[in-house]
Amino acid sequence: MKRNLLERALRAVEELPGWNLADWDLLLRQADRANLLSRLAVLLEDAGLIDSLPAGPRYRLQAALVLCAAQNRAVEREVEHIRVSLQGVVEGVILLKGAAYLAAALPAAKGRIFSDVDILVPHALTPAVEAALMLNGWISTHHHPYDQRYYRQWMHELPPMQHMRRETVIDVHHAIVPITATRLKPSADSIIAAARPVPGRPGLRVLAPTDMVLHSATHLFYNEEFSHGLRDLSDMDLLLRHFSSDPAFWPELVERARRLTLERPLYYCLRHVLRVFGTPIPAEQLNDLARAAPAPWAGRLMDELWRVALRPQHQSLAGRLDFLANGLLYLRAHRERMPLPLLIYHILHKTFRIKQGSKSDSPTV
Amino acid sequence: MIVRDLSRSELRNRLRQGLSIRTGPFVNRVSAQLALVENAIALLYDQYPLEESGFADFHVRVARPAGLRRWVSPQVFFYIDGLAPFNPLPANQAFPMLEWGLNWCISAHCHRHLILHAAVVERNGRALILPAPPGSGKSTLCAGLIQRGWRLLSDELAMIDPAAFALTPIPRPVSLKNASIEVIRAFAPQAVISPVVFETVKGTVAHLRPPSDSVRRANETAPPGWLVLPQFVAGAPARLESLSKARAVTHLADNAFNFSLHGQQGFELLAAVVEASACFSFTYSRLDEAAEVFARLADGQASPG
C-alpha cells in the first residue's frame, strides 16, 4: 500500500510527536526527496514541537534547519549584491518567488531551500540590466547560439547568468510566461505596475499579493518538471492562508486572474491546494472559477496527472504509469509554451544535442 | 543485539532487506547482495549494535547495475535512498565505496554538527583532533594510536557538537592507504584488516577493524583536549612543536566540510575548540616513536621540542 506520509504530516504537524519511528523513517525520506524537510522542520519548530520528537528524526530536522538558514543568509547577501548592482538601472528591483518570500518575510519562506534569485524587469530595460549585471561579475550561461536564440527570442527570461566568483545564479525575467505562449497572455506591464515596495527594504519590490499567487500558480502548472511540485504547492497554500486575512483578497484574486488570462492556472492551483492541504477557500470564488475548468473528460485526466506530479518523487510512492503522466505533462508544458511548428523545430534541435550527465566522480571522503 | 549475533545466512538475509547498523548517533540501513560487502561487514562490523526501531538516518545500497556492465568489467553503484549520486566504481571496490559513501552521507547531511576533515581519538577523557589534508599521515597515526590505548572517535570526520561543546564519536573501520597497510600490520600484528583492494582512486586501500572498546563507548562524547597537525616526513624523528592558535583556527577552517553553513556561530565554535586545546604541529616517520610522544602528551608530560 502506498502511503503519502508527507501530505499527512504537512496537514497536521501537531500529530507528529505521536508517530512511531518506522513512520518517521518513511516520512523523512519522502520529505527529503520533495525538498520539504526544512519546511517540515520549521512548521514543527513554530508549533513548539521539535524538542518533543524522538532523537533520530529530531536530528535530521534540525540539521535541515541549519542548511536552510545558511542558504537563506546566502540569498539575502546575493539580493543585496543585486540591489547595489542595479541601482540607477531599475527603480526597485522586483524579486520573484523564493527571494521575494524571504525579503518580504512571508510564510512561504519558511524552510524553503533555494539558491537562484529571480527578478522581473521591464522588457525595455533588459539590455541595461544585463549590462549592469555583467559589469558586476555575472556572465551569461548557455553559450550555444541556439540556446541564446531560444531565450532571447522566445522565452520570458534572459539566459541564466552566473556570478564569476560566487557562482550564484540569477534569472532575469521580463514576463511571467514565454513570449511565444499559446494561450496565456498576462500583461507584464500590468504586473510590474502593481508591484509594491517591501517595508523596511528600500530598493526592493515584490509582486502584489494576487500576482504573487498567480505567478507561482502559472509557474507550477505550466512547468515541465515537478521535482519541486509539492514544495511549490505548499508555498501557495501558505501564501493563500496568509493573504486571506485581507477580506478583499479573494475577490481581487479571481478578478485579477480573469484580467491576466490566468484563470486556468488559478483553477488548478486552488483545486490542488484544497485537495492536498485543505486550504480554506471561500465557496464563492471556487464556484466562480469553475468556469475556467477544462472539459470534464480532460479534467479527469488532468486530475490524475497532477496527482502524480504533485506527490514526492520517492520510490515508496512510485506508480507504474508515472512515466506516462510525466511525459504527458512535459508535452503539455511545451505545447503551452510555443506554437506547434516552433515546438517541433525546438524538439528536433534538442534531440540532436543530448547533454552529458552531471554526476560527480566519487564521494568526497 | 550486535552483528555477530546473526548467523551468516541471517546476515545475508538482512543485507538483502536492509541491515540497520548503529554507528554513534546515526543509523545506517545497508543493503547489498555482494559477497565482498557481506564478508567485510562480518569481519569489521561484527561488534556493532543492530537498530531495531525501524528508523534509519541513511538508506544506502551498493549494487551491480543491470545489463552488460554486470558481467563485462563489472561495476558497482552506491545508492542513497534509491538515487546514485556518484559514478560507478569497479565491482571489486564495493566495500570501500560503501565506506566512502557512508562518510559522504554524514558530511553532506549531519549539519547540526560542525564537521571537520580530521581524525579524532580520545584518552584520559579528552579528544585529540588530527586535522590534515590526505597524504599527511593522519589516518596512519590514528590507526597506530588506537592500537596503543587511545579510543577511536573517527578516522575521517571530527563531529563537533555545538550544544555539548564536545566531539561526537562515529567510530567506523579505519581506512588505510598504500604503505600504511603494511606499517600497521608490522606495528600491530594482532590488528584485523580487511582484504586489500588495489587501484582505487586513493591507491591501494584496506580497512582496519576498530577496537571493541571504541565501538562499545560510541555514546561517550569527549571535550577537545589537543589539536595536532601531523606531517609524515621520511626519516624524521618524532617532533612536537607548539602551534599558534591563529594558525590552528585557519587550518581547521580550511579542513571543514560545513563551516560556511554555521556562519558566525561556526567561527566562534571553532575558535572555542582551539582555545580549549593545546595546539601543536607534529612531524614523524616512525609510528612507535609517535605513540610514545602522544602517550606523554596525554599524561601531561610532553613539552614541545
B57 & B174 share domain:
no
The amino acid occupying position A212 is: M
CB < 8 Å to A64, chain B: 111
List B166's β-bridge partners, or say none: B161
The DSSP secondary-structure symbol of A196 reads E
Residue-wise pLDDT for A301-350, tens only, equals: 999 999 999 999 999 999 988 999 999 999 888 888 888 888 888 888 87
The amino acid occupying position B222 is: A
Report the residue from A24, A315, A362 with minimal CB separation from B55. A24
pLDDT confidence of residue A141: 86
Would an 8 Å CB–CB cutoff place A33 in contact with chain B? Answer: yes
Domain that includes residue A274, residue range = 5-351
B209 & B152 share domain:
yes
In this structure, what C-alpha cell is assigned to residue A60? 535530521
C-beta separation of B229 from B74 below 8 A:
no
Instruction: In whole angstroms, give the CA distance from residue B296 to residue B226.
Output: 12
C-beta separation of A362 from B77 below 8 A:
no
B168 & B79 share domain:
no
pLDDT band at A356 (very low <50, low <70, confident <90, very high): very low
Instruction: In whole angstroms, give the CA distance from residue A68 to residue A64.
Output: 6
B136 & B55 share domain:
no
* Residue carrying C-alpha cell 586545546: B277
Helix, strand, coil % in chain A, rounded to nearest 5: 60, 10, 30
End-of-domain residue from the set B49, B74, B109: B109
B33 & B149 share domain:
no
CB < 8 Å to B20, chain A: none
In a domain, B304, yes or no: no
Q: Is the predicted pLDDT of residue A259 greater than 90, yes or no? A: yes
pLDDT confidence of residue B36: 96
B169: left (phi over 0), alpha (psi -120 to 50) or beta: beta
pLDDT confidence of residue A359: 52
B81 & B125 share domain:
no
The amino acid occupying position A334 is: H
pLDDT band at A358 (very low <50, low <70, confident <90, very high): very low
Instruction: In whole angstroms, give the CA distance from residue B305 to residue B302.
Output: 9
Residues contacting B131, CB < 8 A, separation 6+:
B116, B117, B118, B138, B158, B227, B229, B251, B252, B255
Compute CA distances A217 → A301, B40, B263, whole Å.
19, 51, 34
Compute CA distances A321 → A49, A309, A324, B97, B115, whole Å.
38, 12, 5, 33, 42
pLDDT confidence of residue A354: 53
B125 & B76 share domain:
no
Instruction: In whole angstroms, give the CA distance from residue B9 to residue B133.
Output: 40
Q: Do A365 and B261 touch (CB under 8 A)?
A: no
Using alpha carbons only, what angle is made at residue B265 by residues B261 and B271, rounded to the nearest 5 degrees?
110
pLDDT confidence of residue B302: 58
C-beta separation of B171 from B216 below 8 A:
no
Compute CA distances A41 → A45, A66, A102, B54, B281, whole Å.
6, 10, 17, 21, 41
Domain count along chain B: 2
Average pLDDT, 10 consecutive residues per value, chain B (305 residues): 96 96 97 96 97 96 85 90 94 96 96 97 97 82 96 97 97 94 95 94 94 97 97 93 95 92 95 97 94 94 57
Q: How far apart are the first and last CA of chain A?
A: 38
Q: Do A362 and B260 touch (CB under 8 A)?
A: no
B13 & B141 share domain:
no
In a domain, A363, yes or no: no
Q: Mean pLDDT across the stretch A80-92?
A: 96
C-beta separation of A35 from A64 below 8 A:
no
Instruction: In whole angstroms, give the CA distance from residue A69 to residue A182.
Output: 39
pLDDT confidence of residue B35: 96
In a domain, B225, yes or no: yes
pLDDT confidence of residue A351: 77
C-beta separation of A67 from A75 below 8 A:
no
Q: Do B82 and A315 touch (CB under 8 A)?
A: yes
Q: DSSP string of chain B?
A: -BGGGS-HHHHHHHHHH-EEEEETTEEEEEEE--HHHHHHHHHHSTTPBBP-SS--SEEEEEEPPSSGGGTSS-EEEEEETTB--B--EEGGGHHHHHHHHHHHHHHHH-TTSEEEEEEEEEETTEEEEEE--TTSSHHHHHHHHGGGTPEEEESSEEEEETTTTEEEP---PEEEETHHHHHHHHH-TT--BPPPEEEETTEEEEEEPPPHHHHHTTT--B-EEEEEEEEE-TTPPPEEEE--HHHHHHHHHHTBSSTGGGHHHHHHHHHHHHHHSEEEEEEES-HHHHHHHHHHHHTT-----
Instruction: In whole angstroms, give the CA distance from residue A34 to residue A113.
Output: 11
pLDDT confidence of residue A182: 79
Report the residue from A56, A66, A315 with minimal CB separation from B261. A66
Would an 8 Å CB–CB cutoff place A57 in contact with chain B? Answer: yes
B32 & B153 share domain:
no
Nearest Cα neighbor of B241 from B293, B188, B176 is: B293
pLDDT band at A364 (very low <50, low <70, confident <90, very high): very low
CA-based nearest distance B58→chain A, Å: 9
Q: Do A363 and B110 touch (CB under 8 A)?
A: no
Q: How far is CA B180 from the centre of its chain?
A: 15
Would an 8 Å CB–CB cutoff place A365 in contact with chain B? Answer: yes
Nearest Cα neighbor of A267 from A241, A299, A245 is: A299
Q: Mean pLDDT across the stretch A141-154?
A: 84
B275 & B202 share domain:
yes
pLDDT confidence of residue A206: 98
pLDDT band at A112 (very low <50, low <70, confident <90, very high): very high
End-of-domain residue from the set B76, B109, B142: B109
Chain B from 120 to 179: CB within 8 A of any A CB: 156-157
ipTM score of complex: 0.93
Compute the CA torsion angle A231, A237, A239, A245 (nearest 10 deg). -160
Would an 8 Å CB–CB cutoff place A21 in contact with chain B? Answer: yes
Q: How far is CA A158 from the centre of its chain?
A: 18
Domain count along chain A: 1
In a domain, B305, yes or no: no
Range scoring the smallest mean pLDDT among A6-15, A132-141, B67-76, B154-163 = B67-76
In a domain, A356, yes or no: no
pLDDT band at A361 (very low <50, low <70, confident <90, very high): low
B143 & B291 share domain:
yes
Length of chain B: 305
Domain that includes residue B259, residue range = 114-298
Would an 8 Å CB–CB cutoff place B259 in contact with chain A? Answer: no
Q: Is the predicted pLDDT of residue A3 greater than 80, yes or no? A: yes
CB < 8 Å to B111, chain A: 63-64, 66-67, 70
In a domain, A357, yes or no: no
Secondary structure class of A341 (helix, strand, coil): helix
pLDDT confidence of residue A365: 44
pLDDT confidence of residue A357: 43
A313 phi, psi to nearest 5 deg: -85, 60
Residue B148 burial (CB count, 10 A): 17
End-of-domain residue from the set B109, B126, B151: B109
B265 & B134 share domain:
yes
